[in-house]
Structure 1
Amino acid sequence: MENVSNSLGWLQANLLNLVLVVLIAIAAYWAAGMVKKFIVHLGKSYEHLDETLFHFLGSIARYAVMIVAGLMILDRFGIQTASLVAILGAAGLAVGLALQGTLTSLAAGVMLILFRPYKVGDFAEAAGTFGKIDAITLFTTDLITFDNQHIIIPNSEIWGAKIINHSHHAVRGVDLVASVAYGSDIKKVKASIAKVLKANEHVLADPAPFVEVETLGASSVDLLVRPFVNGENYFDAKYSLPQAIYEQFAKDGIEIPFQQIVIHNA
């Protein structure tokens, strides 16, 4: 009977606190959800911002509201929260040190999502790996290479290093080198290359292709051939034009040089 009496006494003394706890919990749950929805909606309002980051920030804000509510509830029952906050802070520091590499990748992921040096679907070179961007998360970037390998790179290895985005501009120049023998008629050579470029469906008329002598090699005259194509046709042009130029040179009787060793008898 004494235990029951003590329990009833405790309930009477803390009834107001219990009601306040329930109200605080309900209000905190509602506020946490509203804060997260607001942050996520903010990310959706701007097309240039990535939703992944705002979902992450929304989750952090939601948990922050719930933690504050929990501390308020503990305070209502007279529990000292200052020491608890200190313990949580020390635990957070320990976890942060243990996950230093992961947190570095997280920070790099936030920067990549904010500044968007590349996006999903782009062809890019990052951390020495070239491929199509398949996914961008807060911790890693996934690439698919041309031989169909799936490569996952920590964002910490990408941010702060050189990033080459081959899909950033809609129109790209395709740099090729066409070598002909010394003594070749350069005007005829240029005309032959022009035939190939004009016949290729991917080569744009504007900007006009660039074809000029670039270097005088040891055994050849080297011309820089730079047609312009839409970004999605870059690799089609890069790997089809050299063969087409070679075949056109053969038709037009233009000599393609090769290394020779000339031995003179004494």
Structure 2
Amino acid sequence: MENVTSSLGWLQANLINILFVIVIAVIAYWIAGVVKSVILRIGKSQPSLDETLFHFLGSIARYGVMIFAGIIILDRFGIQTTSLVAILGAASLAVGLALQGTLSSLAAGVMLILFRPYKVGDFVEAAGTFGKVEAVTLFTTDMITFDNQQIIIPNSEIWGTKITNHSHHAVRGVDMIASVGYGTDIKKAKASIAKVLKANKQVLSDPAPFVEVETLGASSVDLLVRPFVTGADYFDVKYALPQAIYEQFAKDRIEIPFQQVVVHNAN
């Protein structure tokens, strides 16, 4: 009986506090939902930015509001929150040190999603890997290589290093070398290459292809051939033209040099 009386007395004494807790919890839950919704709406209004980032920021903001409400509630019951905040801070530091690599990838993921040096579908060379970007998450970047392997790279290994985005520009130059022997009529060689470039429907006429002598090698004259193509046709042209140029040189009787060793007899 004494326990029941004691409990009723505690409820009467703390009724206002209990109502306060309920009201604060409801209001905090509502505000947290509104804050997250606002952040998500901002993300949807910015098509140039990835929604993943705003989902992450919205969740952080929501939990932040709830934690702040929890501190207010504890303070209402006379619990010293200063010590609690210090303990939480120390615990956060310990967890941060333990998850240093993961948090580094998270920070890098936020930067990659925010600044978008590449997007899903781009052909990218990063962290020593070249492939097509399949997914960009807060922690990793997933790529598919040309031999159909899936490569998952932590974002921390990508951010801060060289990133080459081969899909950034709609039009790209395809550089290759066509070598001819010394004594070859260079104008004839250029005309032969021009036939190949004109016959390839994927090579653009504007900008015009570039064909000029680049170096004078030990046994060959090396011409730089640079046709321009759309990004989607880059690899088709890169691997199709060398054979076509070789076959055209053979038709036009243009000498294709090869490594030779000349031995002179001293007698």
**TM-score in terms of structure 2 length:** 0.98
**Cα shift at 1:153:** 1.0
Which consecutive residues of structure 1, in runs of 5 or more, have no partner in the other structure? none
- The answer for the alignment partner of 2:164 in structure 1 is 164
Q: How many angstroms apart in 1 are the aligned matches of 2:182 and 2:89?
A: 75
Identity of aligned residues (%): 81
Q: How many angstroms apart in 2 are the aligned matches of 1:130 and 1:92?
A: 37
Match of 2:47, SS state, is coil
- The answer for the alignment partner of 2:50 in structure 1 is 50
Match of 1:111, SS state, is helix
Q: How many angstroms apart in 2 are the aligned matches of 1:62 and 1:33?
A: 7
Q: How many angstroms apart in 1 are the aligned matches of 2:41 and 2:243?
A: 52
Q: How many angstroms apart in 1 are the aligned matches of 2:15 and 2:263?
A: 108
Q: How many angstroms apart in 1 are the aligned matches of 2:69 and 2:229?
A: 58
Give the aligned length.
266
- The answer for the alignment partner of 1:13 in structure 2 is 13
Q: Deviations over 1:73-124 (max 9, x none)?
A: 1122222211111111110011111111111111111111111111111001
Q: How many angstroms apart in 2 are the aligned matches of 1:30 and 1:196?
A: 68
Alignment of 1:1-266 (within 5 A): 1-266=1-266
Q: Which amino acid aligns with 2:49?
A: L
**Cα shift at 1:252:** 0.9
Structure 1 moving runs of 4+ over 3 Å = none
Q: How many angstroms apart in 2 are the aligned matches of 1:169 and 1:137?
A: 23
Match of 1:132, SS state, is strand
**TM-score in terms of structure 1 length:** 0.98
Q: How many angstroms apart in 1 are the aligned matches of 2:142 and 2:117?
A: 14
Q: Deviations over 1:154-209 (max 9, x none)?
A: 11111111111100000000001000111111111111100100010110000000
Match of 2:14, SS state, is helix
Match of 1:215, SS state, is strand
Which consecutive residues of structure 2, in runs of 5 or more, have no partner in the other structure? none
Q: Which amino acid aligns with 1:252?
A: D
Q: How many angstroms apart in 1 are the aligned matches of 2:63 and 2:225?
A: 58
Q: Which amino acid aligns with 1:28?
A: A
Q: How many angstroms apart in 2 are the aligned matches of 1:178 and 1:79?
A: 80
Structure 1 stretch 112-121 or stretch 223-232: which is displaced more? 112-121
